[in-house]
Structure 1
Amino acid sequence: MTDATPLYRQDAYLREAPGRVVDITPEGGVIVEPALFYPKGGGQPGDSGWLEWDGIRLPIATAVKSEDGQRSVLVPAEPMALPPMGAHVVQVLDWDLRYRHMRMHTALHLLSVVIPLPVTGGQIGPQTGRLDFLMPEPPSDREAIAEQLNALVDRDLEVSEGWISEAELTARPELVKTMSVQPPRGAGRIRLVRIGRGSEQVDLQPCGGTHVARTAEIGHLTLGKIENKGKQNRRVSIAFG
Protein backbone atom coordinates (compact mmCIF):
# COMPACT_ATOMS: atom_id res chain seq x y z
CA MET A 1 0.00 0.00 0.00
CA THR A 2 1.13 3.52 -0.77
CA ASP A 3 1.11 6.46 1.61
CA ALA A 4 -1.95 7.78 -0.28
CA THR A 5 -4.02 4.72 0.64
CA PRO A 6 -6.66 5.89 3.12
CA LEU A 7 -5.93 4.72 6.63
CA TYR A 8 -9.58 3.77 7.17
CA ARG A 9 -9.06 1.17 4.43
CA GLN A 10 -5.83 -0.15 5.89
CA ASP A 11 -7.06 -0.51 9.48
CA ALA A 12 -10.64 0.32 10.49
CA TYR A 13 -9.59 0.12 14.17
CA LEU A 14 -7.01 2.93 13.94
CA ARG A 15 -8.20 5.72 16.24
CA GLU A 16 -5.60 8.43 15.63
CA ALA A 17 -2.78 9.02 13.20
CA PRO A 18 -0.42 11.73 11.95
CA GLY A 19 -1.01 13.35 8.59
CA ARG A 20 -0.21 16.39 6.49
CA VAL A 21 -2.59 19.06 5.18
CA VAL A 22 -2.47 18.82 1.38
CA ASP A 23 -5.37 21.12 0.46
CA ILE A 24 -8.00 23.52 1.76
CA THR A 25 -11.23 23.59 -0.27
CA PRO A 26 -12.95 26.87 -1.24
CA GLU A 27 -15.69 25.97 1.28
CA GLY A 28 -13.18 25.68 4.12
CA GLY A 29 -12.81 21.91 4.18
CA VAL A 30 -9.45 20.40 5.14
CA ILE A 31 -7.86 17.54 3.21
CA VAL A 32 -5.30 15.51 5.15
CA GLU A 33 -3.29 12.60 3.80
CA PRO A 34 -3.15 9.79 4.53
CA ALA A 35 -6.85 10.03 5.42
CA LEU A 36 -8.05 8.57 8.72
CA PHE A 37 -11.62 9.95 8.56
CA TYR A 38 -14.12 7.89 6.54
CA PRO A 39 -16.07 10.21 4.18
CA LYS A 40 -19.85 9.88 4.00
CA GLY A 41 -20.91 7.29 1.43
CA GLY A 42 -22.78 4.04 0.87
CA GLY A 43 -25.28 4.89 3.60
CA GLN A 44 -22.54 5.27 6.21
CA PRO A 45 -22.11 8.72 7.83
CA GLY A 46 -18.78 10.49 7.71
CA ASP A 47 -16.48 10.31 10.72
CA SER A 48 -16.20 13.09 13.27
CA GLY A 49 -13.41 13.94 15.71
CA TRP A 50 -10.70 16.59 15.67
CA LEU A 51 -7.33 17.73 14.30
CA GLU A 52 -4.45 18.79 16.55
CA TRP A 53 -1.40 20.91 15.66
CA ASP A 54 0.78 23.43 17.51
CA GLY A 55 -1.39 23.21 20.63
CA ILE A 56 -4.56 23.91 18.62
CA ARG A 57 -7.53 21.54 18.46
CA LEU A 58 -10.01 21.87 15.57
CA PRO A 59 -13.29 19.92 16.03
CA ILE A 60 -14.41 18.06 12.90
CA ALA A 61 -18.18 17.65 12.41
CA THR A 62 -18.05 15.15 9.56
CA ALA A 63 -16.11 14.04 6.51
CA VAL A 64 -17.38 14.10 2.93
CA LYS A 65 -15.96 13.05 -0.41
CA SER A 66 -14.11 15.53 -2.59
CA GLU A 67 -15.64 16.52 -5.93
CA ASP A 68 -13.66 13.82 -7.73
CA GLY A 69 -14.71 11.26 -5.09
CA GLN A 70 -11.11 10.32 -4.38
CA ARG A 71 -10.32 12.17 -1.15
CA SER A 72 -11.81 12.76 2.31
CA VAL A 73 -12.69 16.39 3.08
CA LEU A 74 -12.92 17.26 6.78
CA VAL A 75 -15.69 19.72 7.66
CA PRO A 76 -14.93 21.87 10.73
CA ALA A 77 -17.60 21.87 13.44
CA GLU A 78 -17.16 25.59 14.17
CA PRO A 79 -15.52 28.68 12.63
CA MET A 80 -11.84 28.56 13.60
CA ALA A 81 -8.47 29.18 12.07
CA LEU A 82 -7.57 26.25 9.84
CA PRO A 83 -4.19 24.53 9.82
CA PRO A 84 -1.89 25.97 7.15
CA MET A 85 -1.09 24.11 3.95
CA GLY A 86 1.63 21.53 4.54
CA ALA A 87 1.07 21.49 8.31
CA HIS A 88 1.72 18.23 10.13
CA VAL A 89 -1.35 17.37 12.20
CA VAL A 90 -2.69 14.54 14.34
CA GLN A 91 -6.06 13.16 13.26
CA VAL A 92 -8.21 11.84 16.12
CA LEU A 93 -11.54 10.04 15.62
CA ASP A 94 -14.66 10.10 17.74
CA TRP A 95 -14.01 6.40 18.19
CA ASP A 96 -17.26 5.49 19.93
CA LEU A 97 -19.25 6.84 16.99
CA ARG A 98 -17.02 5.21 14.34
CA TYR A 99 -17.17 1.84 16.11
CA ARG A 100 -20.97 1.99 16.33
CA HIS A 101 -21.11 2.66 12.59
CA MET A 102 -18.78 -0.30 11.97
CA ARG A 103 -20.99 -2.61 14.03
CA MET A 104 -24.22 -1.43 12.39
CA HIS A 105 -22.77 -1.55 8.87
CA THR A 106 -21.73 -5.17 9.38
CA ALA A 107 -25.16 -5.95 10.88
CA LEU A 108 -26.88 -4.64 7.76
CA HIS A 109 -24.78 -6.98 5.63
CA LEU A 110 -26.15 -9.82 7.76
CA LEU A 111 -29.70 -8.50 7.35
CA SER A 112 -29.24 -8.77 3.58
CA VAL A 113 -28.31 -12.43 4.13
CA VAL A 114 -31.38 -13.19 6.24
CA ILE A 115 -33.63 -11.36 3.73
CA PRO A 116 -32.15 -12.42 0.36
CA LEU A 117 -33.95 -9.81 -1.75
CA PRO A 118 -32.64 -6.90 -3.85
CA VAL A 119 -31.78 -3.84 -1.74
CA THR A 120 -33.15 -0.50 -2.92
CA GLY A 121 -31.65 1.74 -0.21
CA GLY A 122 -30.19 1.88 3.25
CA GLN A 123 -28.93 4.04 6.09
CA ILE A 124 -26.51 3.47 8.97
CA GLY A 125 -26.83 5.19 12.33
CA PRO A 126 -25.09 4.87 15.70
CA GLN A 127 -28.03 3.02 17.30
CA THR A 128 -30.31 2.00 14.42
CA GLY A 129 -29.99 1.12 10.76
CA ARG A 130 -32.29 0.12 7.95
CA LEU A 131 -32.42 -1.49 4.53
CA ASP A 132 -35.12 -1.03 1.92
CA PHE A 133 -35.94 -4.20 0.01
CA LEU A 134 -37.77 -4.99 -3.19
CA MET A 135 -40.42 -6.86 -1.20
CA PRO A 136 -44.04 -6.72 -2.47
CA GLU A 137 -45.41 -8.52 0.62
CA PRO A 138 -44.27 -8.10 4.25
CA PRO A 139 -42.47 -11.06 5.86
CA SER A 140 -44.81 -13.48 7.60
CA ASP A 141 -42.53 -14.24 10.57
CA ARG A 142 -40.77 -11.30 12.22
CA GLU A 143 -39.41 -13.44 15.05
CA ALA A 144 -37.69 -15.76 12.59
CA ILE A 145 -35.83 -12.83 11.02
CA ALA A 146 -34.58 -11.62 14.39
CA GLU A 147 -33.55 -15.14 15.44
CA GLN A 148 -31.63 -15.78 12.20
CA LEU A 149 -29.92 -12.40 12.42
CA ASN A 150 -28.71 -12.96 15.97
CA ALA A 151 -27.68 -16.51 15.16
CA LEU A 152 -25.29 -15.13 12.52
CA VAL A 153 -23.94 -12.60 15.02
CA ASP A 154 -23.39 -15.33 17.61
CA ARG A 155 -21.46 -17.52 15.16
CA ASP A 156 -18.60 -14.98 15.50
CA LEU A 157 -17.81 -15.14 11.79
CA GLU A 158 -14.66 -13.50 10.47
CA VAL A 159 -15.14 -10.35 8.38
CA SER A 160 -12.45 -9.80 5.76
CA GLU A 161 -11.86 -7.94 2.51
CA GLY A 162 -10.58 -8.71 -0.94
CA TRP A 163 -10.57 -7.19 -4.39
CA ILE A 164 -12.15 -8.05 -7.72
CA SER A 165 -11.53 -6.61 -11.17
CA GLU A 166 -14.28 -4.60 -12.84
CA ALA A 167 -14.47 -7.24 -15.58
CA GLU A 168 -14.91 -10.02 -12.98
CA LEU A 169 -17.66 -8.08 -11.25
CA THR A 170 -19.45 -7.53 -14.55
CA ALA A 171 -19.35 -11.30 -15.06
CA ARG A 172 -20.77 -11.88 -11.55
CA PRO A 173 -23.69 -9.45 -11.23
CA GLU A 174 -25.20 -11.50 -8.39
CA LEU A 175 -22.56 -10.03 -6.04
CA VAL A 176 -24.19 -6.60 -6.26
CA LYS A 177 -27.18 -6.56 -3.92
CA THR A 178 -27.96 -2.84 -4.11
CA MET A 179 -30.17 -1.67 -6.95
CA SER A 180 -29.94 2.07 -6.21
CA VAL A 181 -26.16 2.40 -5.89
CA GLN A 182 -23.65 0.62 -8.08
CA PRO A 183 -20.01 0.12 -7.01
CA PRO A 184 -17.76 2.94 -8.30
CA ARG A 185 -15.87 2.01 -11.41
CA GLY A 186 -12.87 3.48 -13.17
CA ALA A 187 -10.09 2.43 -10.79
CA GLY A 188 -9.79 -1.05 -12.36
CA ARG A 189 -10.69 -3.00 -9.23
CA ILE A 190 -13.45 -3.02 -6.61
CA ARG A 191 -13.28 -3.87 -2.91
CA LEU A 192 -15.26 -6.87 -1.65
CA VAL A 193 -16.31 -7.54 1.95
CA ARG A 194 -16.60 -11.20 2.93
CA ILE A 195 -18.35 -12.56 6.02
CA GLY A 196 -17.24 -16.07 6.96
CA ARG A 197 -14.50 -18.22 5.43
CA GLY A 198 -14.71 -21.27 3.20
CA SER A 199 -17.76 -23.39 3.99
CA GLU A 200 -18.65 -20.84 6.70
CA GLN A 201 -18.99 -17.97 4.20
CA VAL A 202 -22.42 -16.35 4.35
CA ASP A 203 -21.91 -13.11 2.42
CA LEU A 204 -19.70 -11.54 -0.25
CA GLN A 205 -20.49 -8.15 -1.77
CA PRO A 206 -18.82 -4.94 -2.98
CA CYS A 207 -18.55 -2.35 -0.21
CA GLY A 208 -16.29 0.58 0.61
CA GLY A 209 -17.34 1.07 4.24
CA THR A 210 -15.76 0.16 7.56
CA HIS A 211 -16.71 -3.05 9.37
CA VAL A 212 -15.89 -4.99 12.53
CA ALA A 213 -13.44 -7.89 12.33
CA ARG A 214 -15.87 -10.51 13.67
CA THR A 215 -19.66 -10.64 13.81
CA ALA A 216 -19.77 -11.23 17.59
CA GLU A 217 -18.62 -7.61 18.03
CA ILE A 218 -22.00 -6.45 16.70
CA GLY A 219 -23.84 -7.53 19.84
CA HIS A 220 -27.51 -8.41 20.21
CA LEU A 221 -29.88 -6.93 17.62
CA THR A 222 -33.58 -6.19 17.75
CA LEU A 223 -35.92 -5.96 14.78
CA GLY A 224 -37.77 -2.66 14.48
CA LYS A 225 -40.52 -1.51 12.17
CA ILE A 226 -41.20 -3.05 8.78
CA GLU A 227 -42.69 -0.15 6.84
CA ASN A 228 -44.40 0.02 3.48
CA LYS A 229 -42.39 2.39 1.26
CA GLY A 230 -44.25 2.01 -2.00
CA LYS A 231 -45.94 -0.68 -4.04
CA GLN A 232 -42.88 -2.93 -4.13
CA ASN A 233 -40.70 -1.64 -1.27
CA ARG A 234 -40.47 -2.49 2.44
CA ARG A 235 -38.18 -0.76 4.92
CA VAL A 236 -36.73 -3.06 7.59
CA SER A 237 -35.11 -1.42 10.62
CA ILE A 238 -32.80 -2.96 13.21
CA ALA A 239 -31.28 -1.62 16.43
CA PHE A 240 -28.71 -2.58 18.99
CA GLY A 241 -30.40 -4.47 21.81
Structure 2
Amino acid sequence: MPTEMLFREDAYAKDCTARVVAVTEAGILLDRTVFYANSGGQPGDAGTLSWEGGSLAIADARKGPEDTVLHLLPADAAPPPEGAEVTIALDWERRHRHMRMHTTLHLLCSILPGIYATGNQIGAEKSRLDFDLPEPPPKEWFTEQLNALVAAAHPTGERWITEAELDANPQMVRTLSVQPPRGAGRIRLVRIGPEDAPVDLQPCGGTHVRNTAEIGRVAVTKLESKGRQNRRIHIVLEE
Protein backbone atom coordinates (compact mmCIF):
# COMPACT_ATOMS: atom_id res chain seq x y z
CA MET A 1 0.00 0.00 0.00
CA PRO A 2 1.71 3.26 -1.12
CA THR A 3 2.12 6.10 1.35
CA GLU A 4 0.06 9.19 0.53
CA MET A 5 2.78 11.83 0.26
CA LEU A 6 1.07 15.05 1.30
CA PHE A 7 4.15 17.20 0.65
CA ARG A 8 3.66 16.66 -3.08
CA GLU A 9 0.45 18.66 -2.93
CA ASP A 10 1.39 21.08 -0.16
CA ALA A 11 5.04 21.54 0.82
CA TYR A 12 3.90 23.88 3.62
CA ALA A 13 1.87 21.25 5.50
CA LYS A 14 3.70 21.00 8.84
CA ASP A 15 1.80 18.09 10.39
CA CYS A 16 -0.95 15.58 9.77
CA THR A 17 -2.81 12.71 11.35
CA ALA A 18 -2.11 9.25 10.01
CA ARG A 19 -2.52 5.57 10.78
CA VAL A 20 0.31 3.13 11.45
CA VAL A 21 0.37 0.53 8.68
CA ALA A 22 3.40 -1.43 9.86
CA VAL A 23 6.28 -1.29 12.34
CA THR A 24 9.49 -2.90 11.10
CA GLU A 25 13.18 -2.87 12.00
CA ALA A 26 13.66 -0.42 9.13
CA GLY A 27 11.11 2.08 10.46
CA ILE A 28 7.42 2.96 10.75
CA LEU A 29 5.12 2.91 7.73
CA LEU A 30 2.14 5.27 7.82
CA ASP A 31 -0.79 5.52 5.42
CA ARG A 32 0.03 9.22 4.84
CA THR A 33 2.81 11.63 5.74
CA VAL A 34 4.13 15.18 5.43
CA PHE A 35 7.72 13.88 5.72
CA TYR A 36 9.90 14.00 2.62
CA ALA A 37 11.97 10.85 2.12
CA ASN A 38 15.70 11.31 1.39
CA SER A 39 16.23 11.44 -2.38
CA GLY A 40 17.55 13.63 -5.16
CA GLY A 41 20.09 15.24 -2.84
CA GLN A 42 17.45 16.54 -0.42
CA PRO A 43 17.69 15.05 3.10
CA GLY A 44 14.81 13.19 4.67
CA ASP A 45 12.73 15.12 7.17
CA ALA A 46 12.94 14.85 10.95
CA GLY A 47 10.37 15.67 13.60
CA THR A 48 8.04 13.99 16.09
CA LEU A 49 5.42 11.26 16.15
CA SER A 50 2.80 11.22 18.91
CA TRP A 51 -0.19 9.06 19.79
CA GLU A 52 -2.40 8.39 22.76
CA GLY A 53 -0.03 7.21 25.44
CA GLY A 54 3.29 8.02 23.79
CA SER A 55 5.55 10.05 21.56
CA LEU A 56 8.98 9.78 19.99
CA ALA A 57 11.41 11.61 17.75
CA ILE A 58 11.71 10.72 14.08
CA ALA A 59 15.37 10.96 13.12
CA ASP A 60 15.02 10.64 9.35
CA ALA A 61 12.69 9.56 6.55
CA ARG A 62 13.75 7.17 3.80
CA LYS A 63 12.17 5.60 0.76
CA GLY A 64 10.57 2.27 1.46
CA PRO A 65 9.35 -0.45 -0.92
CA GLU A 66 6.53 0.16 -3.40
CA ASP A 67 6.34 3.96 -3.09
CA THR A 68 6.25 4.08 0.69
CA VAL A 69 8.04 6.28 3.24
CA LEU A 70 9.89 4.78 6.21
CA HIS A 71 10.05 6.95 9.34
CA LEU A 72 13.26 6.06 11.17
CA LEU A 73 13.34 5.67 14.95
CA PRO A 74 16.08 6.31 17.51
CA ALA A 75 17.68 3.16 18.87
CA ASP A 76 15.59 1.39 21.53
CA ALA A 77 12.58 3.70 21.00
CA ALA A 78 9.18 2.16 21.76
CA PRO A 79 7.03 2.56 18.61
CA PRO A 80 3.25 2.95 18.48
CA PRO A 81 1.20 -0.19 17.85
CA GLU A 82 0.14 -1.08 14.33
CA GLY A 83 -3.24 0.42 13.52
CA ALA A 84 -2.80 3.34 15.94
CA GLU A 85 -3.80 6.84 14.93
CA VAL A 86 -0.83 9.19 15.23
CA THR A 87 0.10 12.81 14.64
CA ILE A 88 3.34 13.40 12.78
CA ALA A 89 4.94 16.86 12.86
CA LEU A 90 7.93 18.25 10.98
CA ASP A 91 10.97 20.02 12.29
CA TRP A 92 9.66 22.88 10.18
CA GLU A 93 12.63 25.24 10.46
CA ARG A 94 14.97 22.57 9.10
CA ARG A 95 12.58 21.57 6.30
CA HIS A 96 11.98 25.20 5.29
CA ARG A 97 15.73 25.78 4.99
CA HIS A 98 15.92 22.71 2.73
CA MET A 99 13.13 24.21 0.59
CA ARG A 100 14.98 27.54 0.32
CA MET A 101 18.22 25.76 -0.56
CA HIS A 102 16.60 23.45 -3.09
CA THR A 103 14.96 26.32 -4.96
CA THR A 104 18.30 28.16 -4.96
CA LEU A 105 19.97 25.19 -6.66
CA HIS A 106 17.33 25.34 -9.39
CA LEU A 107 18.13 29.03 -9.85
CA LEU A 108 21.79 28.12 -10.11
CA CYS A 109 20.94 25.75 -12.97
CA SER A 110 19.03 28.55 -14.69
CA ILE A 111 22.07 30.85 -14.89
CA LEU A 112 24.14 28.10 -16.53
CA PRO A 113 21.99 27.18 -19.56
CA GLY A 114 23.16 24.12 -21.43
CA ILE A 115 25.52 23.08 -18.62
CA TYR A 116 24.70 19.81 -16.87
CA ALA A 117 24.83 19.23 -13.13
CA THR A 118 26.88 16.18 -12.16
CA GLY A 119 26.02 15.98 -8.46
CA ASN A 120 24.38 17.83 -5.61
CA GLN A 121 23.78 17.86 -1.88
CA ILE A 122 21.23 19.96 0.00
CA GLY A 123 21.71 20.87 3.64
CA ALA A 124 20.12 23.23 6.13
CA GLU A 125 23.38 25.13 6.65
CA LYS A 126 25.13 24.73 3.31
CA SER A 127 24.55 23.10 -0.06
CA ARG A 128 26.54 22.37 -3.17
CA LEU A 129 25.98 21.70 -6.85
CA ASP A 130 28.56 20.17 -9.20
CA PHE A 131 28.71 21.11 -12.88
CA ASP A 132 30.52 19.93 -15.98
CA LEU A 133 32.10 23.37 -16.24
CA PRO A 134 35.82 23.69 -17.03
CA GLU A 135 36.08 27.49 -16.70
CA PRO A 136 33.46 28.86 -14.26
CA PRO A 137 32.92 32.58 -13.65
CA PRO A 138 34.12 33.90 -10.25
CA LYS A 139 32.06 33.19 -7.16
CA GLU A 140 31.06 36.87 -6.92
CA TRP A 141 29.34 36.61 -10.31
CA PHE A 142 27.28 33.63 -9.12
CA THR A 143 26.30 35.44 -5.92
CA GLU A 144 25.16 38.53 -7.87
CA GLN A 145 23.16 36.54 -10.42
CA LEU A 146 21.45 34.40 -7.79
CA ASN A 147 20.44 37.31 -5.58
CA ALA A 148 19.00 39.17 -8.57
CA LEU A 149 16.75 36.19 -9.30
CA VAL A 150 15.78 35.86 -5.64
CA ALA A 151 14.90 39.57 -5.42
CA ALA A 152 12.80 39.35 -8.60
CA ALA A 153 10.22 37.40 -6.55
CA HIS A 154 9.55 34.73 -9.15
CA PRO A 155 6.64 32.42 -8.27
CA THR A 156 7.17 28.67 -8.30
CA GLY A 157 4.75 25.99 -9.40
CA GLU A 158 4.49 22.42 -10.58
CA ARG A 159 2.70 20.26 -13.07
CA TRP A 160 2.82 16.67 -14.25
CA ILE A 161 3.76 15.37 -17.68
CA THR A 162 3.89 11.89 -19.14
CA GLU A 163 7.12 9.97 -19.51
CA ALA A 164 6.61 10.19 -23.27
CA GLU A 165 6.50 13.99 -23.04
CA LEU A 166 9.79 14.01 -21.17
CA ASP A 167 11.34 11.69 -23.75
CA ALA A 168 10.29 14.19 -26.42
CA ASN A 169 11.95 17.03 -24.45
CA PRO A 170 15.14 15.49 -22.96
CA GLN A 171 16.71 18.95 -22.51
CA MET A 172 14.49 19.45 -19.46
CA VAL A 173 16.67 17.00 -17.52
CA ARG A 174 19.52 19.12 -16.15
CA THR A 175 21.35 16.48 -14.09
CA LEU A 176 23.64 13.68 -15.19
CA SER A 177 23.83 12.04 -11.76
CA VAL A 178 20.12 11.77 -10.88
CA GLN A 179 17.45 10.86 -13.40
CA PRO A 180 13.70 11.30 -12.82
CA PRO A 181 12.07 8.16 -11.40
CA ARG A 182 10.15 6.19 -13.99
CA GLY A 183 7.53 3.50 -13.95
CA ALA A 184 4.54 5.47 -12.64
CA GLY A 185 3.75 6.87 -16.09
CA ARG A 186 4.11 10.52 -15.12
CA ILE A 187 6.87 12.97 -14.18
CA ARG A 188 6.60 16.00 -11.88
CA LEU A 189 7.98 19.28 -13.27
CA VAL A 190 8.96 22.17 -11.02
CA ARG A 191 8.75 25.62 -12.57
CA ILE A 192 10.27 28.90 -11.42
CA GLY A 193 8.78 31.97 -13.08
CA PRO A 194 5.65 32.39 -15.22
CA GLU A 195 4.21 29.42 -17.11
CA ASP A 196 4.73 31.06 -20.51
CA ALA A 197 8.33 32.14 -19.83
CA PRO A 198 9.85 30.10 -16.99
CA VAL A 199 13.19 31.00 -15.46
CA ASP A 200 13.74 27.29 -14.80
CA LEU A 201 11.72 24.18 -15.63
CA GLN A 202 12.96 20.70 -14.81
CA PRO A 203 11.84 17.35 -13.37
CA CYS A 204 12.06 17.28 -9.57
CA GLY A 205 10.37 15.44 -6.73
CA GLY A 206 11.60 17.73 -3.96
CA THR A 207 10.01 20.53 -1.94
CA HIS A 208 10.32 24.22 -2.85
CA VAL A 209 9.31 27.66 -1.63
CA ARG A 210 6.30 29.37 -3.24
CA ASN A 211 8.28 32.43 -4.32
CA THR A 212 12.01 33.09 -4.75
CA ALA A 213 11.77 36.15 -2.46
CA GLU A 214 11.23 33.70 0.39
CA ILE A 215 14.79 32.42 -0.03
CA GLY A 216 16.47 35.59 1.27
CA ARG A 217 20.02 36.52 0.40
CA VAL A 218 22.41 33.75 -0.60
CA ALA A 219 26.16 33.61 -1.14
CA VAL A 220 28.44 31.39 -3.18
CA THR A 221 31.30 30.83 -0.75
CA LYS A 222 33.67 28.66 -2.75
CA LEU A 223 34.33 27.16 -6.20
CA GLU A 224 36.15 23.87 -5.97
CA SER A 225 37.76 21.74 -8.67
CA LYS A 226 36.64 18.10 -8.50
CA GLY A 227 38.32 16.83 -11.68
CA ARG A 228 39.43 17.99 -15.11
CA GLN A 229 36.10 19.69 -15.85
CA ASN A 230 33.93 19.13 -12.80
CA ARG A 231 33.44 22.21 -10.60
CA ARG A 232 31.71 22.24 -7.21
CA ILE A 233 29.78 25.39 -6.24
CA HIS A 234 29.19 25.88 -2.51
CA ILE A 235 26.19 27.94 -1.34
CA VAL A 236 24.96 29.28 2.00
CA LEU A 237 21.88 31.20 3.11
CA GLU A 238 22.78 34.59 4.56
CA GLU A 239 19.48 35.21 6.38
Alignment-derived partner of residue 187 in structure 1:
184
Question: Out of 88, 93, 102, which is 1:91 matched to?
Answer: 88
Alignment-derived partner of residue 103 in structure 1:
100
Q: How does 1:121-132 map to 2 (within 5 A)?
A: 121-132=119-130
Q: How does 1:78-227 map to 2 (within 5 A)?
A: 78-116=75-113, 117-139=115-137, 141-227=138-224
Distance 1:218 1:53 in 2: 34
4+ residue runs over 3 A deviation: none
How many equivalent residue pairs?
A: 236
Alignment-derived partner of residue 21 in structure 1:
20
Question: Out of 20, 44, 47, which is 2:45 matched to?
Answer: 47
Give the superposition deviation at 1:142. 2.7
User: Does 1:63 pair with 2:57?
Assistant: no
Letter aligned with residue 64 of structure 1:
R
Unaligned runs of 5+ in 2: none
Distance 2:83 2:218 in 1: 44
Distance 1:138 1:216 in 2: 26
**TM-score using structure 2 length:** 0.95
Asked if the contact 1:59/1:78 (under 8 Å) is kept, the reply is no
**Secondary structure of 1:96 counterpart:** helix
Give the superposition deviation at 1:227. 0.5
**Secondary structure of 1:144 counterpart:** helix
Alignment-derived partner of residue 36 in structure 2:
38
The CA deviation string for residues 75-97 of structure 1, in whole angstroms up to 9 with x for no partner, is 01242211111110000110110
Give the superposition deviation at 1:52. 0.3
Letter aligned with residue 14 of structure 1:
A
Percent identity at matched positions? 53
Letter aligned with residue 48 of structure 2:
W
Distance 1:159 1:114 in 2: 16
**Secondary structure of 1:168 counterpart:** helix
Distance 2:139 2:17 in 1: 46
Distance 1:122 1:62 in 2: 19
Distance 2:117 2:165 in 1: 21
Give the superposition deviation at 1:201. 1.6
What is the root-mean-square deviation of aligned Cα atoms in Å?
1.4
Letter aligned with residue 207 of structure 1:
C
Asked if the contact 2:16/2:34 (under 8 Å) is kept, the reply is yes
**TM-score using structure 1 length:** 0.94
Letter aligned with residue 182 of structure 1:
Q
The CA deviation string for residues 8-57 of structure 1, in whole angstroms up to 9 with x for no partner, is 111111111100011122x2400112121100000000000011001311
The CA deviation string for residues 58-82 of structure 1, in whole angstroms up to 9 with x for no partner, is 10000000134x1110001242211
The CA deviation string for residues 130-167 of structure 1, in whole angstroms up to 9 with x for no partner, is 1000012232x332221110000001111100011000
Unaligned runs of 5+ in 1: none
Q: 1:147 to 1:200 in 2, by over 3 A?
A: farther
Asked if the contact 2:26/2:70 (under 8 Å) is kept, the reply is no
The CA deviation string for residues 168-194 of structure 1, in whole angstroms up to 9 with x for no partner, is 000100000000111010000000000
**Secondary structure of 2:33 counterpart:** coil
